[in-house]
Amino acid sequence: MTHRTGRHFLHIPGPSPVPERVLRAMDRQVIDHRGPDFGVLGREVLEGCRTIFRTKGPVVIYPGSGTGAWEAAIVNTLSSGDRVLMFETGHFATLWRQMAARWGIEVEFVPGDWRHGVDPALVEAKLAEDRSHSFKAVMVVHNETSTGVTSRIPAIRKAIDAAGHPALLLVDTISSLGSVDVRHDEWGVDVTVSGSQKGLMLPPGLGFTAISEKARAAGKSNNLPRSYWDWEEMLKPNANGYFPYTPATNLLYGLREAVAILLEEGLDNVFARHQRLAAATRAAVEAWGLEVLCLNPDEHSPVLTAVMMPDGKGADAFRALVLEKFDMSLGAGLSKLADKIFRIGHLGETNDLTLMGALSGVEMGLAAAGVPHRPGGVLAAMASLRSGLDG
C-alpha cells in the first residue's frame, strides 16, 4: 500500500468521521460494569440521551447496530398478524418492511418513487379509511439515507391525529438524530430508533430506542418473543445506571463526550449548520448541471445529498476514481439506485472547509472521469456559504 498524506475524506452518509475528542474519550481502560464508577457513567449517558432525543421518558442503549434497534422497536410493541402502515421512501424503508414481514406482521407498503418522503395527506387518508383501527403502527424512516429525502414527522403526526387513529408511530432516526431536529415527546413519537455512527459521530456499535408510555404499554400485551431486545429487562437495571449484560463501555465514554460536544455547540446551531452545508452542496450540484435526487424542496436532507449521474455514466466507476485520486469515499447508490447515483455525506464532524474539500474532490473527479458537467460548482458552494455568514 502506498502512503497517503493528509487525512482520508470520509464523505459517506454514515459512518461519519469521529471527532478527535470522542476518540480520546474512548481511549481509556475498561471498568467493572457492576462497579460504582460505571453507575455514574451509565446515569450520565442515559440522561444525555434523553436530552438529545428530547424526551423525559426512557431511552434504551443496546450494544448493536441500528438494525438491531429496528428489531427492538418491532418485537417490543407488535404482534404477529398485526397490520402496519409503511411507505416506500427508499432502501432503508424497504429493509425495515422486510424485517417486519419476517416477524409475521402484515405490512401495507405504500409504493414510492424514491424521490419523495412520506406524504402526510396519504397517511391521513389511509388511516381515515381504516375505521376498524386494524393498523397497529405507522412506521416511517425520518431521513432516508439511500435517497437524501427527509420526511416531515410533525406533519405525519398531525395526519394521524386528524384521522383520529390510535396507531403507534415508530420512527427511524438512525441518520437524522444529532443532525436534524428530532423531538420524541413533542412530536408524539412512540418509538424513536437510532444508531451511533451517523449524527452522533461515534463509531458503529450502539443502537437506541426512545420509548413512549403508550409503546411501553403495548409491550405488556403483544405476542412477539424477545429476550436480548426486551425493554423491561433493560429498564430495571438502567434505573441505577446499570445494564443487564456487559455494555459497550468504551462506546459509552464516547457517547458521553459526543453529547457534550453537541450541547456545547447547541442543538439548534448543529441543525442550522447541517442545513447550511446541505444548501451549499445543492448549489454546487445545480451549478454542475447535475440533478439532485430529492424532488421536494421541503424534504431536502440536511445530512446527505444524492446526485444523479447523467445518462450512461456509471456512478461506481466515478466513485472509485475519486477514492483512488483524492482519497475520498462517497456513498454508493443502494439497490435500485446502484450505479445511478452517488451520495455526498455532510453530517456530523463537518465544517465549511471540510465540505469545500469534499466538493472540490467531486468537481475534480467529474472532470477526470469525463462526466458531462459545467465547472463552477465549488464557486457556487462558496458563494452559498458566504451568503450565510453574518457581516
Binding residues for substrate, by number, are: 343
Which stretch in 3-11, 168-176, 177-185, 366-374 sits in contact with ligand PLP by CB under 6 A? 168-176
Q: Is 15 in the site for ligand PLP (CB under 6 A)?
A: no
Nearest CA to 46 among 61, 33, 36? 61
Which stretch in 170-178, 240-248, 252-260, 268-276 sits in contact with ligand PLP by CB under 6 A? 170-178
Among 92, 114, 208, 253, binds ligand PLP (CB under 6 A): 92
Q: How many CA atoms lie within 13 A of 157 on its CB side?
A: 16
Which stretch in 63-71, 110-118, 209-217, 263-271 sits in contact with ligand PLP by CB under 6 A? 63-71
Q: Is 174 in the site for ligand PLP (CB under 6 A)?
A: yes
Cβ distance to ligand PLP smaller for residue 92 or 229: 92
Determine the Cα–Cα distance for residues 79 and 43; give it in Å rounded to an integer. 32
Q: Is 250 in the site for ligand PLP (CB under 6 A)?
A: no
H or E element at residue 84: strand 83-87
Neighbouring C-beta atoms of residue 109, cutoff 10 Å: 17
Q: Is 14 in the site for ligand PLP (CB under 6 A)?
A: yes
The answer to whether the beta carbons of residues 271 and 295 sit under 8 Å apart is no
In whole angstroms, the minimum distance from the beta carbon of 40 to ligand PLP comes to 28
Angle subtended by helix axes 377-387 and 267-288, to nearest 10: 150
Cβ distance to ligand PLP smaller for residue 42 or 331: 331
Q: Is 189 in the site for ligand PLP (CB under 6 A)?
A: no
- Please report where in the chains the cell 427508499 appears, as a residue: 90
Nearest CA to 114 among 278, 285, 299? 299
Tell me the residue number closest to ligand PLP, measured at CB. Answer: 66
Cβ distance to ligand PLP smaller for residue 26 or 366: 26
Strand 304-308 to 328-332 pairing: unpaired
Calculate the alpha carbon distances from 54 to 183, 187, 210, 267 in Å. Answer: 5, 10, 9, 11
Among 175, 194, 305, 384, binds ligand PLP (CB under 6 A): 175
Task: Report the DSSP beta bridge partners of residue 308.
Answer: 291, 341
The answer to whether the beta carbons of residues 229 and 72 sit under 8 Å apart is yes
Q: Is 200 in the site for ligand PLP (CB under 6 A)?
A: no
Strand 341-345 to 328-332 pairing: antiparallel
Q: Tell me the three state secondary structure of residue 364.
A: helix
In whole angstroms, the minimum distance from the beta carbon of 354 to ligand PLP comes to 20
Q: Is 329 in the site for ligand PLP (CB under 6 A)?
A: no
Q: Is 88 in the site for ligand PLP (CB under 6 A)?
A: no
Cβ distance to ligand PLP smaller for residue 169 or 287: 169
- Please report where in the chains the cell 462506546 appears, as a residue: 251
Q: Tell me the three state secondary structure of residue 180.
A: strand
Among 18, 49, 141, 330, binds ligand PLP (CB under 6 A): 141
Q: Is 247 in the site for ligand PLP (CB under 6 A)?
A: no
In whole angstroms, the minimum distance from the beta carbon of 370 to ligand PLP comes to 31
Determine the Cα–Cα distance for residues 138 and 123; give it in Å rounded to an integer. 8
Cβ distance to ligand PLP smaller for residue 64 or 361: 64
Q: Is 67 in the site for ligand PLP (CB under 6 A)?
A: yes
Which stretches of the chain bind ligand PLP, using CB under 6 A?
Answer: 14, 65-67, 92, 141, 145, 172, 174-175, 195
